[in-house]
Amino acid sequence: MSEIHYRTCHLCETMCGISIEHEGGKILSIKGDPKHVLSKGEICPKPIGLQDIHIDPDRLHKPMKKVNGKFIEISWNEAFNETTSKLAAIQRKYGNNAVATYQGRSTAHNIGALLTVHPLRQVANTQNTYTGSTVDQQPHNFVWYFMLGHQFMATVPNIDQTDYFLLLGSNPKVSNGAMMSTGANPHKKFVGIQERGGKVVLIDPRRTESAEFCDEHHFIKPSTDALFLIGLIKTIFSKGLAKKGRLGPHIKNWEKIQPALSNFDLPTIAKVTGISQHDIERIACEFATSKTAVCYGRTGLSMQKFGGLCNWLMMVINLITANFDEPGGMMFPTTAIDTFTAIEGARGSYDTYRSRVSNRPEFAMELPVAVLAEEIMTPGKGKIRGLVAIAGNGALSMPNGKLFEEALGQLDFMVAVDPYINETTRHADIILPPVGPFEKSHYDLFYHTYDTINWAAYNPRLFKPEKPGYTDFEIIGEIVRRWAVKKASNPLKKLKVRLLGALSKFITVEFILAMGLRFGPYGSGINPFKKGLTLNILKENPHGVFLGKPKRILPEGLFTNDKKIDAAPQLILADLPRLKARWFEGVAGYNEEEYDLLIISRLTERTLGWLHHSQRLVKGPPTCTLFVNPHDAKNRKLKEGDMACITSAVGSIEVPVVITDNVMPGVICLPHAWGHTRKGTRQRVANAHPGASLNDITDHNVMDELTGNAVVHGVPVKLEKIRKKIQA
């Protein structure tokens, strides 16, 4: 008899409920869970891929060690011992900074890996800490830290109540709502806005899949979004439409906003962005006079050269129209586990130290991942010689992936916690594979910070792993325990660390969750007679527990020392001359005649980088195709299906062309996380659908100077036709 297991899909922050029919250890189907509190049965195509990953013969089950260039299976004990001995030896000889840690983006989707971030950083005690955040969302965290006092104090659009939704660089139809957890298909909520008499306006260099659900779409030249936002703010002030609203007494530096933007005039903004002055002024007035409104942007704004400024300007627009912490505007979820205050030091920090080679400031005790390669490759004191890489495929996801791979080849030792031998882990000396996605319990510790409603769900594991099989929590926990013992400087300290390590084995993910819920905002705390949210309640409610609509939380919820919102942090204002120099004074920093196109990235409906192991998701016509505007295609004599070579300052790739007017002239568009062409991997499905890696042409030397985020959108390139048959 088959059974049904209900679970929250962990693949993205949308957090849809899925129902998994299974029998005798086999998965029969994966569908949407109609009773799920958030998604109500809606899902995207991706979770069916989990079925393939669960049974994929290429997925590792035992630790692997590279011997004479080939991976062989070894025991867990040997793997843990060798890993921690090597890491401790490097640090003893060269200092703590000689070992770096890198946590990929999927760490945030995985409670076990997430709970070990802090202990791992404590034992590594290195300034060389890197994560996928600096390729993706650092500008958001940076702005939240400087304006609100906490890097994770996420502003989330109240899409269910807003009357005017202005989106930039975001494609909810395909992303399903990045940093805005709504359940799949958030574009269906656009209908509600339109039925309320409201409007949805999209600004993007591509007429994306979301555009057809919007009332308006405007092309914008890549990396000029900050100018468009400045145009809106200037109009709102000049028309007398700015208002402080309820939070007025709790906002500081309001008076600095207008003077800071005085050097930018609307006619030039219109000329550079490609959006007419009339449209900029009209959208500004519509936004400011709408009953409620919200301005929201995602990767198109954060993964570009002016990501920090874009995110600050969006916050300002919501603030000066009194759409901040108000229903229908930007709001803040109240998560069942208080992830903000639970970890000491999680608020953020800035410039307490700098990177060794190019002198980049840390943010939140992390350095930009774009400098990791140079920190490994540049000789001298403090050079990185050892790397702990967790749940990330930097070779395909970091800027200038080929250089990053070259750097990995120069390490003395690398350990990867990952279930595959992929483009990155093939460089490791040891690979420690965690159990599969259905062989561990799940709670979205991090992504509830993007909730559009307040809710919580817990899912126990569905299958017992093959023995011995360890979760990420257990693997990284064991590394931490053994590494700490090996680093202890004398026998007494070693004994103490051993005892603490033995005790820590009793702390399970479930124990931490139970405590987090009890002492969270819906829990009973220390009062034994009070009823509150518990882990048992979540266990009894597999479709999730609804905890209410978002409520106003400011000013009490602010983390700034003076309990004020800083509307114009000085550090952010100081970045405005860079924007002006680029677009008003023409300081491009590259040859604009030679590199005459700007490339942007796009998401695709059926894939994420770590789902290229699923045959069901990657089958069919190639996904990794280049969108070219007919005007640009004609200039290069390109026809549909031709192979073209894209060249940037750091490399070249070859891709098949699709001619479409859904990208604006001067812009080409390619999906990222492809490029499964490297030798020595063990991932037959991915290798059968190789594509090309966008990150072989993104430039590690170019980043958002303010936040250190890598630049993926708006990379200058040239495009040429090549005479070659299309690869299937």
**Residues that bind ligand SF4 in the complex, under the rule CB under 6 A:** 9, 11-12, 14-16, 43-44, 46-47, 176, 184
Residue type for 558, please? L
- Closest CB to ligand SF4 among 187 and 518? 187
Find tokens 């491009």 and name the residue: 588
C-alpha span between 391 and 609 (Å, rounded): 12
Smaller CB separation from ligand SF4, 334 or 607: 607
The rounded distance, in Å, linking the Cα atoms of 180 and 564 is 25
- The kind and range of the H/E element at 288 are helix 277-289
Q: Which is nearer to ligand SF4, 43 or 371 (CB)?
A: 43
Instruction: Work out how close the CB of 87 gets to ligand SF4 at its nearest, in angstroms, rounded to a whole number.
Output: 34
Q: Which long-range contacts (CB under 8 A, 24 or more apart) does 337-341 make?
A: 337/443, 337/445, 337/448, 337/456, 337/513, 337/516, 337/517, 337/520, 338/516, 338/519, 338/520, 338/521, 339/152, 339/445, 339/446, 339/448, 339/449, 340/150, 340/152, 340/153, 340/559
Burial class (CB in 10 A: 0-12, 13-18, 19+), 118: middle
Q: What's the min distance (Å) between Cβ of 623 and ligand SF4?
A: 16
Name the residue nearer to ligand SF4 (CB basis): 44 or 294.
Answer: 44
Q: Which residue has the tokens 């779409």?
A: 217
Contact, 10 vs 571, CB < 8 A?
no
Q: Quote the least distance from Cβ 39 to ligand SF4, whole Å.
A: 6
Of residues 16 and 376, the one with the C-beta less far from ligand SF4: 16
Cβ nearer to ligand SF4, comparing 44 with 686: 44
Nearer to ligand SF4, 44 or 453 (CB): 44
Q: Tokens 């034994």 correspond to what residue?
A: 528
Query: Which residue, 11 or 280, has its beta carbon nearer to ligand SF4?
Result: 11
C-alpha dist (Å) from residue 430 to 65, 78, 169, 412, 433:
5, 10, 39, 12, 10
Length of the chain: 728
Minimum CB separation of residue 175 from ligand SF4 in Å reads 8
From residue 198, give the alpha-carbon distance in Å to each of 19, 209, 290.
35, 20, 8
* 168 neighbors 204 (Cβ within 8 angstroms): yes
Minimum Å gap between C-beta 32 and ligand SF4 is: 8
State the minimum distance, in angstroms, from the CB of residue 43 to ligand SF4: 4
Nearest approach in angstroms of CB 44 to ligand SF4 is 3
Tell me whether residue 10 or residue 234 sits nearer to ligand SF4 (CB atom).
10
Q: Smallest distance from the beta carbon of 611 to ligand SF4, in angstroms?
A: 9
The least CB distance from residue 16 to ligand SF4, in Å, is 3
Nearer to ligand SF4, 215 or 605 (CB): 605
Strand 164-168 relative to strand 199-203, pairing:
parallel
Half-sphere exposure of 291 (CA within 13 A, CB side): 10
Minimum distance, C-beta of residue 376 to ligand SF4, in the bound complex (Å): 33
The pair phi, psi for residue 628, each rounded to 5°, is -130, 135
